[in-house]
Amino acid sequence: MSEPDADTYALKSAALAEVAAPALPYQPPMPRSYRPRIGVIGAGGIVSAHLDAYRTAGWEVAAICNRTLAKAEAKAAEFAPKARVTDRWEEVLNDPAIDVVDITPHPADRLPIIEAALRAGKHVLSQKPFVLDLAEGRHLVALARENGVRLAVNQNGRWAPHLAYMREAVRAGLIGEVISAHVGIHWSHGWIAGTPFEKIEDLILYDFGIHWFDFLRSVIGPRARTVFATAAHATGQTARAPLLAQVLVQMEGGQASLVFDGATPHGPRDTTFIAGTKGSLQSDGPDLGQQSVTLTTASGIARPRLEGTWFNDGFRGAMGALLVAIEDGTEPANGAEENLDSLALAFAAIQSRRTGKPVRVGAATSLAL
């Protein structure tokens, strides 16, 4: 048997030829001509990203609702001066001129509003994470189908340029079958101290991490089998919820990992690596808005120049995908039914964190054990 050479032992890489990057449909989808009047229910801080994205896309926001009327008035004044403001969400649902509603409150508060909207015949974009229980989610999916309307989830990370390009490269078969996928995010999430977010026990794995569970599901499909996760408080953090979490995913014919270092005060970094049987993808940068992607195959290394940013193009993508689905009579790319698979990964991770044991994907059906 021949011995490997020194370069093999040293894991040295060879120089690669620079090749043209393939053009892929990574940018936010836009309906051809469908321009509904949109009602927005909930006017918290993140809604500014929604409203700015809709304004940029040229979509009409006809109503903004918030239980604190002054917040709705402030958002309307900044982003949609012609929008009607109200503190009663029922008024938005009772308006026959409004076809689509963007519902943004927290999951427990959001559930009855979504149900009422679907019964009122409105198409719905739900804020993420979609639901607290998979059975509740399946009920809403069935209700949307019964009423002939579309139900989508605001997984805006799907249209972050780097994540979108990598997903489309995988789906185009450019790297073959996925063998592994690894995400490492190092940033400061300490802003949650003193806000309602720090009361969410598994904030990082649920409210924040759902973006990456959703991304993982989009590139590996239904291959995940078991999940093992941990979480911890970082030295010196002031927020109540743990800001550190990590996840190991065993999948059919491969593995995946998510590492969330949410208490990094300086030098933030975000990296994503996907290895396949025919190539690999890598994205790297100081934050989620500044990323450089490379695609490596036997042909060489490609460096696509991507346009756009997660905030606020990702929000334009989430609503745009819903509008395209309504226009074409298809299921949204961010449809609620598929999103339940992403939530199943998150729920398995949370149950694993709580029990200290690996959890089979699908065994955890809600945030409650």
Average pLDDT of every residue of the chain = 96
Distance, in Å, from the CA atom of 248 to the CA atom of 256, rounded to the nearest integer, reads 6
> For residue 12, what are the contacts with CB-CB under 8 A and spacing of at least 6?
none
Residue 323: both structure tokens together: 């509008």
pLDDT at 13: 76
pLDDT at 9: 62
Phi and psi, residue 112, nearest 5°? -65, -25
Q: How far is CA 149 from CA 90, 156, 179, in A?
A: 18, 21, 37
- Per DSSP, 133 falls in state B
pLDDT at 353: 98
128 within 8 A of 155, measured Cβ to Cβ: yes
Helix and strand element counts for the chain (H, E): 10, 16
pLDDT at 15: 84
CB-neighbour burial class of residue 331 (10 A; exposed 0-12, middle 13-18, buried 19+): middle
pLDDT at 224: 98
pLDDT at 14: 79
Distance, in Å, from the CA atom of 290 to the CA atom of 269, rounded to the nearest integer, reads 10
Concatenate the DSSP letters of all residues of 23-36 into one string.
P---SPP--SS---
pLDDT at 1: 58
pLDDT at 10: 65
Chain segment 21-76, per-residue pLDDT in tens = 999 999 999 999 999 999 999 999 999 999 999 999 999 999 999 999 999 999 99
pLDDT at 8: 63
Nearest to 335 by CA among 128, 132, 177: 128
Q: For each of the chain's 369 residues, which pLDDT tens digit applies?
A: 566 666 666 667 778 999 999 999 999 999 999 999 999 999 999 999 999 999 999 999 999 999 999 999 999 999 999 999 999 999 999 999 999 999 999 999 999 999 999 999 999 999 999 999 999 999 999 999 999 999 999 999 999 999 999 999 999 999 999 999 999 999 999 999 999 999 998 999 999 999 999 999 999 999 999 999 999 999 999 999 999 999 999 999 999 999 999 999 999 999 999 999 999 999 999 999 999 999 999 999 999 999 999 999 999 999 999 999 999 999 999 999 999 999 999 999 999 999 999 999 999 999 875
Distance, in Å, from the CA atom of 300 to the CA atom of 296, rounded to the nearest integer, reads 6
Length, in residues, of the chain? 369
Q: How far is CA 186 from CA 146, 157, 162, 243, in A?
A: 43, 17, 17, 10
345 within 8 A of 155, measured Cβ to Cβ: no
Q: How far is CA 366 from CA 71, 88, 243, 317, in A?
A: 32, 29, 21, 27
Residue 320: both structure tokens together: 């745009």
- Write down the pTM of the prediction: 0.95
Maximum separation of any 2 CA atoms in the chain, in Å: 78
CB-neighbour burial class of residue 212 (10 A; exposed 0-12, middle 13-18, buried 19+): buried
Q: Residue ranges of the alpha helices (H) in 122-221?
A: 134-146, 161-171, 210-220
Strands across the sheet containing 84-86:
84-86, 60-65, 37-41, 100-103, 123-126, 151-153
- Per DSSP, 333 falls in state T
pLDDT at 37: 98
